[in-house]
Each structure stands twice: as C-alpha cells, then as structure tokens.
C-alpha cells in the first residue's frame, strides 16, 4: 500500500498529466509539439513526471477566457494561423511564452476573431 507521500506524488503527476492532455486537446497540439513546449521527452510526458511544468496551469489559465469566448475550434485554428508576429504554435514550441501571451492578447483585442486566411 502506498504511503501518503507516494500518494501525493502520484496525485500531482496525475494532475500534471491531465493538464498536459487538456492543453494538447484545447490547442490541437501533437505529442511532439507538447514535448517541445514542455522541454521533455515523450517518456517523461507519458509517465506524468512533469514536476517542473509550472507553465501548464499558467497557460490553461491564460486560455480559459479565450476558450469561453471563442471556443476550442477557433483556438486550434488560431494557434496555427500566421500573423505579422508569426504563428502562436511557433512561440510555444520555442518556449517563448511571452510572445504567446502577446499573441493571445492580440486575439482578445480583436474580439477573438481570426483574420482572413487564419
């Protein structure tokens, strides 16, 4: 029977895995893109040992309003749409979270509407 410390660790790993899956589904990320964004290998991702991934809850919080107002379908299109600053997916995979946040703010400023061709 696992000890309380082991149960707490397993719970945290489960939470991180759930957050990773949630972000992957919300933005339509591939497993490779998610691994790049989190700077982990696929085995670490599958095992749920994402101890250092504080960016997961932060990104999900940032995306909550966008999902509520625009929906996941728009977010999946938007993350791959090109604008003058580049594609939001590229900012994520190079771990430039500030650029991703800026792109999300720009989308919000447009009223969560994609420009033509996006």
Tens digits of residue pLDDT in 60-99: 999 999 999 999 999 999 999 998 889 999 999 999 999 9
Tokens standing for residue 44: 């670490």
- Residue 34's pLDDT is what? 93
pLDDT at 98: 95
Average per-residue pLDDT in the chain? 86
Span between the terminal Cα atoms of the chain, in Å = 52
Q: Cα–Cα distance between 85 and 106 in angstroms, integer?
A: 10
Between CA 43 and CA 35 the distance in angstroms is: 10
Nearest in space to 108 (alpha carbons), one of 69, 56, 60, 55: 69
Phi, then psi, of 83 in degrees rounded to 5? -130, 180
**Residue 6: is its pLDDT beyond 80?**
no
């Amino acid at each position: 029977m696992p000890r309380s410390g082991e149960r707490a660790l397993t719970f945290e790993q489960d939470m991180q895995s759930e957050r990773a899956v949630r972000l992957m589904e919300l933005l339509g990320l591939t497993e490779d893109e998610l691994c790049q964004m989190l700077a982990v290998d696929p085995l670490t991702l599958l095992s749920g040992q994402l101890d250092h991934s504080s960016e997961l809850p932060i990104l999900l919080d940032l995306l909550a309003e966008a999902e509520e107002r625009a929906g996941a379908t728009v977010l999946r299109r938007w993350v791959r749409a090109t604008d003058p600053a580049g594609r939001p997916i590229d900012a994520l995979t190079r771990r430039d979270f500030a650029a991703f946040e800026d792109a999300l703010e720009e989308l919000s400023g447009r009223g969560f509407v994609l420009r033509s061709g996006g």
